[in-house]
Amino acid sequence: MTDERPATRAPGARDAAPAPEPTGPPLSAPEQAEVPLFAPDSTGDAAGASPAAPERAAPDGDGVLVDRGTVRLALVVGGLVLAVLLGFGLGRLDPPTAAATALTSAEAGTDDHAHAPGTGAHEHAGGVGSGDVGSGASEVGGLAVSAGGWTLAPLSTGFAAGRPGELRFQVRDGRGRPVTRFAVVHDKPMHLIIVRRDLTGFQHLHPAMAADGTWSVPLTLPGPGVWRAYADFTLVTGDGGQSALTLGVDLAVPGGYAPRPLPPAARTDTVDGFTVSWSGEPKVGATRPLRFQVRAGDTTPELERYLGAYGHLVALREGDLGYLHVHPEAGPATDGISFQLTVPGPGRYRLYLDFQVAGVVRTAEFTLTVP
Ligand SMILES: [Cu+2]
């Protein structure tokens, strides 16, 4: 009942990479992802138009003998202009990052999560990550169906308990147009988390997108009650910037709902013969490491990379089902799976750790109490 997660056979949503919409402005790249933060061309050209100084300096050497002073001057001027252009280009690096972190999510993913383990992935977490206790710590996602001008629009909401169905939805911009360009973060352009409001029945799915921006994924909600669906994604904005967002919507399943109490706080969980334990000291208002160890009896099974890391962690807050931001830390799986967790306030949280062994993804669950 709890754990049917077709996560392993989740469709490679990447295949569904759409053709760019006419709405999507300057980037001509047809793919949805891997958009570099510096899309230098757009502004580079615009800026290049103004400082025409070097062009003027060079040509008049044509028929006339130009003394070295003039040449040197031209070089200096050219260099200066170049420096200005470069500075301008670098300046351009900031806005997308700033925009991304300004939005609720910390997952200001650039193009990463595709790179090899051990490379300093996730440095983009910096905006909301460690050190930034004040602003970053208070952020949770998934509480709103619309935020920052972007709206999660479910297209199919009628689910019957235990009956296979399909969830379809779009992410729409401020004018109601479906978004079609998403960045790949943690190996996928869209992460869909499903959980019932009593924090049971966790599923982590990866929908596929049609060219018109409609995402779809097979979904069975096993029992009656109200279920929360979180769409966790990073969209690529018209100016080439990125916005990381987690939007959430409720899905109602008719029938008698008997909510289950949250299990007591624990540092160990057992799933399919794997014993998973975690260590760390989560603290309100701080970003702290959380480390998970997976054991199978007396042995340590070999963890496989899943979603660009050796594990994927989702943390939800009891009471409002706020979606916490968790950042995996690159590193060898032999040391366990490490994350940076930012706890926004006191309370109880449910942690869901996806890990993969021998091609099978399993989820260990823990209740975490933070005083
Ligand atoms: Cu995912």
CATH number assigned to the domain comprising residue 271 = 2.60.40.3340
Of the residues 101, 121, 142, which one is the last residue of a structural domain? 101
Task: Take residue 82 and report the two structure tokens written for it.
Answer: 């170049």
Residue 79: domain span: 40-101
- Asked if the model's pLDDT at residue 18 lies above 80, the reply is no
Burial zone of 218 (CB within 10 Å; 0-12 exposed, 13-18 middle, 19+ buried): middle
The answer to the question of residue 10 being in a domain is no
Candidate from 63-77, 112-126, 140-154, 343-357 with smallest mean pLDDT: 112-126
- Residue 12 maps to a domain: no
Q: Which two tokens stand for residue 84?
A: 């200005």
Same domain? 248 vs 296: no
Residue 273 has pLDDT above 90, yes or no: yes
Confidence of residue 12 (pLDDT cuts 50, 70, 90): very low
Is 11 part of a structural domain of the chain? no
Least confident segment among 31-40, 121-130, 241-250, 362-371: 121-130
For residues 62 and 122, membership in a common domain is answered with no
CATH number at residue 238: 2.60.40.1930
Number of domains in the chain: 3
Same domain (yes/no): 242, 173: yes
Confidence of residue 325 (pLDDT cuts 50, 70, 90): confident
pTM over 0.75: no
pLDDT over threshold 50, residue 147: yes
Q: Give the rounded percent of residues in the chain with a pLDDT score beyond 70.
A: 61
Mean pLDDT, to the nearest integer, of 324-330?
81
Q: How confident is the model at residue 306 (pLDDT cuts 50, 70, 90)?
A: confident
* Domain annotation covers residue 30: no
275 shares a domain with 231: no
Q: Last residue of a domain, which of 221, 253, 285? A: 253
pLDDT band at 332 (very low <50, low <70, confident <90, very high): low
Instruction: Specify whether 116 is located in the same domain as 244.
Output: yes
Q: What is the mean pLDDT of residues 91-95?
A: 37
Tell me the per-residue pLDDT of 55-66, one tens digit each, with 9 for 90 and over. Answer: 333 333 333 444
What separation in Å is there between the alpha carbon of 232 and the centre of ligand 1? 8
Question: Does residue 8 lie in a domain region?
Answer: no
Residue 14 lies in a domain: no
Distance from the alpha carbon of residue 204 to the mean position of ligand 1, in angstroms: 6
Average pLDDT for 243-262 = 96
Same domain, 310 and 202: no
Using an 8 Å Cβ cutoff, are 315 and 308 in contact?
A: no
C-alpha–C-alpha distance, residues 64 and 333, integer Å: 68
301 and 242 both lie in a single domain:
no
pLDDT of residue 50: 36
112 CA to middle of ligand 1, Å? 14
Would 35 be classed as within a structural domain? no
Residue 34: inside a domain, yes or no?
no
Query: Ligand 1 (ion): which residues have CB within 5 A?
Result: 191
The reply to whether 128 and 239 lie within a common domain is yes
Q: How far is the CA of 48 from the centre of ligand 1 (A)?
A: 41
Residue 235 Cα to ligand 1 middle (Å): 15
Whether 243 and 276 share a structural domain? no
Contacts of 175 (CB under 8 A, 6+ apart): none
Q: How far is the CA of 124 from the centre of ligand 1 (A)?
A: 18
Give dist(CA 26, CA 353) in Å, integer. 39
Average pLDDT rounded to a whole number, residues 310-339: 86
In terms of domains, do 95 and 116 share one? no
What is the Å distance from ligand 1's center to 314 Cα?
10
pLDDT band for 330, please (50, 70, 90 cuts): confident
pLDDT at 69: 53
Query: Do 244 and 341 reside in the same domain of the chain?
Result: no
Domain final residue pick, 101, 125, 151: 101
- The Cα–Cα gap between 276 and 193 comes to 21
Q: How close is the Cα of 185 to the center of ligand 1, in Å?
A: 9
Distance CA 257, CA 298 (A): 40
Q: How far is ligand 1, taken at its centre, from the CA of residue 201, in Å?
A: 16
Q: Does residue 206 register a pLDDT over 90? A: yes
Please indicate, yes or no, whether residues 330 and 227 belong to a single structural domain of this protein.
no
- Greater pLDDT, 134 or 146: 146
Q: Report how far ligand 1's centroid is from the alpha carbon of 206 (Å).
A: 6
